[in-house]
Amino acid sequence: MNWGAFFIDLLQIFGGLVVGAIAGFFLARKYMQKYMQKNPPINEQMIKAMMSQMGRTPSQKQVNQMMKQMSKYNS
């Protein structure tokens, strides 16, 4: 068995894994940035608009409660 060739093959495999992990990270990051631009997270204005469409006039306390619930479910 040629140990030199074996170690070179191992280095190529590990090198490929490292390059793949780095490329995957940047591709996933770019995808998430594009997704967040198309689908922004819910903010206070969106909650107020949603509640007013349902026929309610929300108070700031209700909006804060909704924001707290949304952050609890998202984390």
Average pLDDT over residues 14-32: 97
As a dihedral over the C-alpha atoms of residue 64, residue 70, residue 71, residue 75, rounded to 10 degrees, the angle is: 170
Contacts of 70 (CB under 8 A, 6+ apart): 42, 47
For residues 47 and 59, is the Cβ–Cβ distance under 8 A? no
Average pLDDT over residues 30-55: 87
DSSP 61: H
DSSP 55: T
pTM of the model: 0.58
Domain ranges for the chain:
1-40, 42-75
> Both tokens of residue 8?
């070179």
Q: Is the pLDDT of residue 48 over 80?
A: yes
Average pLDDT over residues 39-50: 84
Q: What are phi and psi of 31, to 5 degrees?
A: -60, -45
